[in-house]
A and B are shown apart, each in its own frame.
Chain A
Amino acid sequence: MTTQTPLWEVFIRPRNGLAHRHCGSLHAADAEMALQAARDVYTRRGEGTSIWVVPSAEITASDPKDKDALFEPTADKIYRHPTFYEIPDEVGHM
């Protein structure tokens, strides 16, 4: 059956979490079933969490071979790094 059911990627926002994090994948017949399975497999029913499921086929990933072209050029331009500012506490998480 798993060969006939598509793969889904699961993103979960923990109860006190700010953002959804990728936590794994699973096989399910459709989005509704994927949500239920994700709840069983990944949340253990900790209430107040939010779950996203996305068909794996919908995700486009960067190619590891492009690593140099994509990420290298920023490394030596420190003015691109917003690390020279102090963030007031009131701003909270950024």
Chain B
Amino acid sequence: GVASALYFPRKEYLENVYIDEPAGMPLLRIHALKDSEEEVAHFHLCQNLIISRTRSHEKSWFQIKEKTGLLYLSKSLDREDFNVPSVGNGMTLSKVILYVFLSSHPFQEKECDSATHTTVSLSLINATTPACSSLTARQLCFTEMDLSFHIKENKPPGTFHQLQLPSVHHLCQNLSISYKLLAAEGLPFRYNENTTSVRVTQRLDREERERYELIAKCTVREGFREMHVEVPFLVNVLDEDDSPPFLPNGIDTVDAVVEFSRKEGTVLAALAVYDADTTPIYPLESSRKKYTGTIVTDDPWISETFRVEHVFDEIHFSPNGSRVRGTRHEYKLVLNKTISVTEHRSFQLDILVNDTEYPGPERLVMLHFNVSILPVNIQFSNMTYQFTVNRNAERFAQIGKICIENCMKFRGVNITYKLLSPNVSCYPVAILQGREGKYGSLYVNDSSVLRRPECKEIQYTVQATDKQSRKHTKTLLTVVLDGTLLKNEEGCPDSCARSKHRAECEECGGLGVLTGRCQWRQGSGKGITTNYSTCTPSIKTCPDGICDVVESRDPAVCPQDCTSGNVIGGHGKGIGNLGIKSGHGICYCFPRQNCYCEKDDIKEQLCDDMCKTVI
């Protein structure tokens, strides 16, 4: 193809252009570096691609020497040419953007679309060329463009910059301006005093060193006066894929066990692959395509059940003391679907990693995962449940949790708990599914049954069923009714949360209470705290910052965890704007309406002397 492997050591060049500068005035020198020794660079301005912020009529204002890359004015610019809309401060009238193209053979216009290019940004200054004597040493020595270059690794040496400014050299010939390159000892760069050009003297290796920081020093002599300016001169080495992947510590095998976590998306195990080359995270998709990881299998079940997730991260290597960027690739084996509790098998699964752009067979690495899928037993541990329930408990009182073996470790296993009706008429309790189908919450469903003397000890059978496999298990549950019936206080509210004072709280009952009486939580914190004072059916479950399944059945049970209404007073809302996470003083609620958080220290003050005078 025509694609040239020549390249520019800079993406962008900057320079100023003044009114009345003569035709032929040199503006700046552009360099190209080579891919192979025999290449010759040809520079070209593509006319049809000169687009600027002004108009397109300056097409013929600039030209470039094809061989040397010297950009110059082809016509003297006068005030008429500058008659363009003023933008900004009035100093810089406009910018002209030129694209300089590069080819390894004499240029043909049709290549304009495909060839490599660099951008030249010329600021048109609404003033005549400043006199040499009015320029500062900084302006005589360097442009505003920072001296920062990039050189590709593994490419032949060559000249990539000229320190002398062509326009200054052209205009201020009576000044002596000389340059030096400091801190270059032992580095692969040479400065040529005659041409003021800088050259890279050997092929560079990014994996050895990726940044060179030198200093360009300029000396201006004017009679006996001598001025010095120093600016940083930076060279970045560009990376190419010249390192194969390797395994850190040689580890290529890992165990992957599927047991209690069986949900789609579970990460089972991961293996890392290192590479001394960099991998850009932008654009992400193209890097993923360049560095692939695929499951090697003919088994459709395996390819349906597992997937590979590839993430990568920049890490650093330090060859001979300098810091060099590299990449850590991580390949995660992930469940692509939820696995049934009955599934039982083990096998080795291989992932083939391919650094696709590395030339050579070492681009391939095989990773091994010893996969064991263990079945999960749906069974209650060797026990029967026994709960004692106070006869004074109210509806939605939480009695306890029912849970099969290991239930809290489950992910992706959905268990339904059910009470099988006993053969008696006493039936005070019910079960609600806990979150994520892990456990069941046993609660009082019919408090009138608790009060009936004939109901004393009730036997239930609890059944737990796995939703997916329909496997089920049973155990016995005994509910013992206990305690003597308390007399109901007159005028008590239905919800504990309504009580604002400890006394009224503790003498009343309310929805969800376990023993017939609400419980008072005495906060200790100052200001707005999660430990606020409040009246609750059970300190264990309310307020705990979670609106659980039982509480959410009725807003009067625990509005402190479940309210979605207004909270008046100093407070912080809970997750999802539900409940009171933190409050100031005492928080109390009118279910289905507002909650209030306030300090209860407003005591009747005696009228002091000050107050008497006011009255």
Partners in one complex: no
A interface list, Cβ under 8 A from B: none
B interface list, Cβ under 8 A from A: none
